[in-house]
Amino acid sequence: MYTFSSKLKTLALAFMIIGALGIGYGFLTTPKTTEEVKEMLHKDDDHEGGHAEAHDNGVGGTSVGGGLMAVAHPQDAHDVVEQLEAPQDTSHTEETHSKEGTHEEEGHTKEDAHASTGHGEEHGDGHGMSEEAHLEHELTFAKNRPWTAIYVAMLFFLLVSVCAFVYYCIQRAATAGWSPVLFRVMEGVSAYIVPGSIIVLAFLIWSSVGHGNHMFAWMYTSIDPTAANYDYAMETKDWWLNIPGWLVRSVIYVLIWIGFRHFIIKNSRAQDTASDLKPYKRNFTLSVVFIVVFLVTELFMAFDWLMSIDHHWFSQLYPFYVFASMFVSGITVIAFVTIYLRSKGFLPFVNDSHIHDLAKYMFAFSIFWTYLFFAQFMLQWYANIPEETTYFYPRLVGTYQPLFIGMLIMNFAFPILILMNSDYKRIPWFVVLAGLIILTGHYLDLFVMVAPGTVGSNWHFGVPEFGALFFFLGLFIYVVFTALTKVPLQAKGNPLMKESEIFHY
């Protein structure tokens, strides 16, 4: 039986405490008034060469390199929020127009607007936005920052856990002979699904019904053309993007994930003492069904929880891209936990060949992620359709460019170069090094998916972001390793266990 070491438990608790303090600091230091926002922007001007220039880098308006033309929409969703919610300081900031582009009927681009007005003058161009209205926009984005940090971290660790469980079910459905000695590790990593799902659901309820933040602009729109908060895009999406349906679907997603995990883990435990293979056969059937059901739930989950942040944009490949990113992260975490337990002497039957196979999956799905990234990005860049390129403009040539390029290097170039050699895949510390780069890259990938639509161009990696990361990392470690103490790490009764124990090549 594995015993949760006091050092690791203390580390997990320390992460949670430090993280909670960082999250609290983020909320306490968030600007509360437009005057504080104005002071903050002037500080940014002093340190970054002017806020107007930063906006020029982050908004649409011109064609860049033959692609990524700015989008022109008659009404932007975040303008809608500004008109509807400005008295309560709950509007979205002007920077979100980087996703939606400019108002062509006004005859001016946002670059012209920012270059000519800066922060201290009236926006007398096509937007007719006063300095105060602009500051209201910036205030809402500033208020969204700690919520964004929490959302990225909580979603990352939940999806890592879910995808680790998917990998586990794939091994069962494929009747793989090499992996049964790792089943308890995979089951332990999947234990975070339950608390992680509850936290995410609470966040979604607070964001929608509780109006705790304004990360999802579509929640403040109307399909009535005469309404101040009219959004033309919602005329075709309102049937799907509505708060009751959105929440009901979210509950269905997590109930399916939790339910399948409960019954599959229950059968796995039963197989330890069973006199026949009935629990094993039930798990085979459940695993096959879950893989199919998960693909459907993940498809709509990606639309609801991530793509709807940029609800004017769409991509059919997006859910598969999200899955690839989280799936390789889940496999990497399984490798981390396996290497750690093996180093402590708790997995005597795990050898270098098992580590090699995990590293092969890390390598393979890094390539798969790259393929989906290229398939989604290149086609939309080449077509240069405004409704599509509006998503990539702030990420590729705007203020998120360093993160966008950096995560591409970490998720593609480094795994290729580090894990291509077969011998290196058998070296635990080398696999850990590659895994750290992969996990960092995909965490940044998720951040880049979320932040441009919630905090605009004024993104930071500071105390709130690291605080949220530490808190959920500590919670993840605590839940996973506590689950590993519940049952023996060596599963029994699996007909392929002997093959897995002697697996070597």
The residue among 94, 96, 86 whose CA lies nearest residue 114 is 94
235-264 residue pLDDT tens: 889 999 999 999 999 999 999 999 999 999
The pLDDT value recorded for residue 53 is 42
445-504 residue pLDDT tens: 999 999 999 998 878 889 999 999 999 999 999 999 999 999 999 888 899 999 999 998
Report CA torsion sign: 79, 83, 88, 89. Answer: positive
- In the block, tokens 């979603």 appear at 155
Question: For the whole model, what pTM was predicted?
Answer: 0.84
Q: What is the mean pLDDT of residues 414-427?
A: 88
Single-letter code of the amino acid located at 386: P
The answer to whether 249 and 201 are in contact (CB under 8 A) is: no
H helix or E strand, kind and range, residue 35: helix 34-48
Residues 6+ apart with CB under 8 A from 476: 157, 160, 161, 192, 196
Number of helical H runs and strand E runs in the chain: 20, 0
Q: What are phi and psi of 222, to 5 degrees?
A: -135, 150
Return the higher-pLDDT residue of 82 and 348: 348
The residue among 270, 288, 289, 290 whose CA lies nearest residue 280 is 270
Q: Is the pLDDT of residue 334 over 90?
A: yes
* Tokens at 363, concatenated: 């390598």
Distance CA 17, CA 10 (A): 10
